[in-house]
Structure 1
Amino acid sequence: MSGSASELAHRLGEHAEAVCREYLSNGHRSGNYWMVGDVRNTRGRSMHVRLKANAKCAAGKWVDEATSEFGDLLDVIRESCGLIEFRDVADEARRFLALPRPQPLVSDQTRRPAAARGSPDAARRLFAMSQPIAGTLAERYLAGRGILLSAHERALRFHPGCYYRDLVTGETQVLPALIAAVTSLDGQITGLQRTWLDPSGQGKAQLTDPRRSLGDLLGNGIWLGLDPGAPVPVMAAGEGSETMASLRMVMPPLPIAAATSANHLAGLILPPGCRRLYIAADADAAGRHGIERLSQRAGEAGILALVLRPQLGDFNDDLRHLGPAYLAARLSDQLVPEDARLFLPP
């Protein structure tokens, strides 16, 4: 560890209990230790952080008995905040300690970072730091939207403490988040969509923009039910992840892609051999450009493009307010009969 990192870790160790109360808030003090579930601030007791130094161990050192992970308080800040790059971890540590940011050296200015902010590498690392959604707040959030997906949906994960920065004030928060992987057709993660959640379980977090994306999005999508390399003769695509997950609820065999925005929908790369494309529309006209452009591109590639229209504002509204049986019946009237028999339950 570099000198600056060692110095920051030492300074944090001098305030170990305050650091734990800030970044491991789901834990509690027990004697000379802070007890918590893990370094990502999960409830439990398997991880303990030393609060005062002794002859053998510095303050701030921690061990997770369940996983054999160990580290210092910089690791706690990185994992609990969902940070990727060390400079962001160091900035957060300095913010906590009320220290000024150092002036960059010439060599620092020219050094290429290991994972540039907002890059596909950063997206892959954050996804790897997340966990499956089963039993988490993310699963509860989706269930509240009427979406009950299989545990085999590898594109969706949960991070218990994802770093959020207000773009206007610069203030930061650590909040749970639903993490959705944006991938290419071969299954490579190129980006992410983060949906920050209210820790109380009451839907999205109360933020100006509770949903943000990072990485390379154009041409790629949040794919549900895609087996990389397998033929995809029929598929569905749309903007929003919850809209498309709602369609997957009633048509589980159908590969589905959420492009995250109208502009990205327009540029979605379609699988080779695709013959029919269903494009999910919302009731408003905001995404009309994306639908029209994708339909045009599909037609130029010899793909039949058909638009699916909801009864209410979007297909998640239909699922929640009208029910899956009604949604399936409405889709049955809009699908090619062959596809209705193949993808809709009997």
Structure 2
Amino acid sequence: MLAERIGVLARELLPNGRKDGAEWRCGSLAGEKGQSFAVHLNGSRAGVWADFSSGERGDALDLVAAVLFAGDRREAMKWAVSWLGLGDGAAPTFRAPERRQVAPDRGREDLDQEAQRKRASARKLWHDTPSGIAGTPVEAYLAGRGIILRELGRAPGALRFNRSVWCAEVQRPLPAMIAAICGPSGKLVAVHRTWLGETPGGSWVKADLQNAKKVLGSFAGGCVRLWRGASGKALGVAPEGDVTVIAEGIETALSVAVACPEFRVLSAVSLSNMAAVALPDTLKDIIIAADNDSGNEKARRALEAALKKFASQGRTVRLAMPEIVHGDWNDVLRGKDTDGKPERPV
């Protein structure tokens, strides 16, 4: 029912946003002006939203929880029942809980403090998570995706396994793969979480959640440094001649690393962040390992932006895209066709 009235709801929760086609857009869940946050206003995805800067996603109820109740869906449900006029028959008028009013000249300061809080939480989660993934569910999950890290001789240090990471969607901790997202200086700025679940047969897969992957912290310009390639040097001291592959997702990037271990491989985490990834001047040869999002205009524009950005920096840029429609390089590694079935020999 919230989704049916998402046009009204989005405007009331995020009044500083603006309508952009079939979406309501603003800067983030904080509601400031911008483009990084989008809510679908109609169609089968009405109410579905995404914050492309943080990786957070959800439905209409999640939006209420995130904006008004710090992610508490129970409180969001109570509020929604009242707002929809379902509780006592009252008219569905907007009755938001009181929120601290921020003076215009202090808005940026508050946003900066929130960013610092999330970064501190991300660093704590990373440092509280044991290093190494050998023999853990993370190794088993990746192997189930066809990514056999032992073929590389070592596992990426940017990945860890934590058996108990809080998941707001189910209101309890779950096992998760944790990935370090580092900024240009090499310092950790955010973490990527992939919640995992064990099947009855004992296999480890992505948890059965609406959003099994989320980022904690702001990561614009950062990336997950997954593989150093032939030189073995850290990104900050990468030598000239290193070929660098940038992929969107972690599994896609790892698939490239397994297939082409001579290349340096980075995950941009999101397609919108790909053009912002900061690279040292020594890296002149760049390959964008794109997903084949055929017909997705936004994806096409984001790819073009990344290609133009790196080319403008004087680098040689190439685009590598799988022939599998709506597929990625992990699908190629696993030998799948457009239907997700093993490819037939020609």
TM-score (norm 1): 0.56
Q: What's the counterpart of residue 122 of structure 1?
A: 121
Q: Deviations over 1:285-327 (max 9, x none)?
A: 443222111111111111111001113211000101269xxxx
8 Å CA contact 1:262–1:289 kept in 2: the answer is no
Q: What's the counterpart of residue 312 of structure 2?
A: 300
Taking the aligned partners of 1:145 and 1:259, their CA distance within structure 2 comes to 19
Pick from 121, 145, 151 the counterpart of residue 154 of structure 2. Answer: 151
Q: How does 1:82-97 map to 2 (within 5 A)?
A: none
* Cα displacement (A) at 1:188: 1.2
* Cα displacement (A) at 1:133: 1.1
8 Å CA contact 2:224–2:267 kept in 1: the answer is yes
Taking the aligned partners of 1:194 and 1:146, their CA distance within structure 2 comes to 20
Taking the aligned partners of 1:229 and 1:260, their CA distance within structure 2 comes to 19
Taking the aligned partners of 1:280 and 1:221, their CA distance within structure 2 comes to 14
Q: Give, as a single letter, the amino acid of the residue that structure 2 aligns with 1:320.
A: R
Taking the aligned partners of 2:254 and 2:302, their CA distance within structure 1 comes to 19
Q: What's the counterpart of residue 134 of structure 1?
A: 134
Taking the aligned partners of 2:167 and 2:142, their CA distance within structure 1 comes to 20
Partner SS, residue 198 of structure 1: strand
Q: Give, as a single letter, the amino acid of the residue that structure 2 aligns with 1:230.
A: V
* Cα displacement (A) at 1:118: 5.9
Q: Deviations over 1:250-306 (max 9, x none)?
A: 111311111111111121112222211100111114432221111111111111110
Taking the aligned partners of 2:115 and 2:292, their CA distance within structure 1 comes to 38
Taking the aligned partners of 2:218 and 2:115, their CA distance within structure 1 comes to 12
Q: What's the counterpart of residue 281 of structure 2?
A: 272
8 Å CA contact 1:232–1:271 kept in 2: the answer is no
8 Å CA contact 2:115–2:218 kept in 1: the answer is no
Q: What's the counterpart of residue 322 of structure 2?
A: 310
Q: Give, as a single letter, the amino acid of the residue that structure 1 aligns with 2:221.
A: G
Taking the aligned partners of 1:317 and 1:267, their CA distance within structure 2 comes to 26
Q: What's the counterpart of residue 165 of structure 1?
A: 168
8 Å CA contact 1:177–1:194 kept in 2: the answer is yes
Q: What's the counterpart of residue 271 of structure 2?
A: 262
Partner SS, residue 272 of structure 1: coil
Q: What's the counterpart of residue 218 of structure 1?
A: 220
Q: Give yes or no for the alignment of 1:240 onto 2:217.
A: no
* Cα displacement (A) at 1:244: 0.8
Taking the aligned partners of 1:317 and 1:245, their CA distance within structure 2 comes to 12
CA distance change for structure 1 residues 264 and 232 in 2, over 3 Å: closer, same or farther? farther
* Cα displacement (A) at 1:218: 0.7
* Cα displacement (A) at 1:116: 6.6
CA distance change for structure 1 residues 225 and 300 in 2, over 3 Å: closer, same or farther? same
Taking the aligned partners of 1:196 and 1:159, their CA distance within structure 2 comes to 9
Q: What's the counterpart of residue 178 of structure 1?
A: 177
Gaps of 5+ in 1: 1-87, 92-113, 324-346
Q: Give, as a single letter, the amino acid of the residue that structure 2 aligns with 1:120.
A: R
Taking the aligned partners of 1:174 and 1:229, their CA distance within structure 2 comes to 35
Taking the aligned partners of 2:239 and 2:321, their CA distance within structure 1 comes to 22
Taking the aligned partners of 2:156 and 2:145, their CA distance within structure 1 comes to 17
CA distance change for structure 1 residues 292 and 229 in 2, over 3 Å: closer, same or farther? same
**In terms of mean alpha carbon deviation, does 200-209 or 224-233 score higher?**
224-233
Q: Give, as a single letter, the amino acid of the residue that structure 2 aligns with 1:121.
A: A
Taking the aligned partners of 1:217 and 1:242, their CA distance within structure 2 comes to 18
Taking the aligned partners of 2:333 and 2:264, their CA distance within structure 1 comes to 18
How many aligned residue pairs are there? 214
Partner SS, residue 321 of structure 1: coil
CA distance change for structure 1 residues 173 and 232 in 2, over 3 Å: closer, same or farther? farther
TM-score (norm 2): 0.56
Gaps of 5+ in 2: 1-69, 73-112, 229-233, 338-346
* Cα displacement (A) at 1:172: 0.2
CA distance change for structure 1 residues 314 and 118 in 2, over 3 Å: closer, same or farther? farther
Taking the aligned partners of 1:292 and 1:148, their CA distance within structure 2 comes to 32
8 Å CA contact 1:186–1:228 kept in 2: the answer is no
Taking the aligned partners of 1:115 and 1:295, their CA distance within structure 2 comes to 32
Taking the aligned partners of 2:117 and 2:148, their CA distance within structure 1 comes to 30
Q: What's the counterpart of residue 43 of structure 1?
A: none
* Cα displacement (A) at 1:189: 0.8
8 Å CA contact 1:231–1:273 kept in 2: the answer is yes
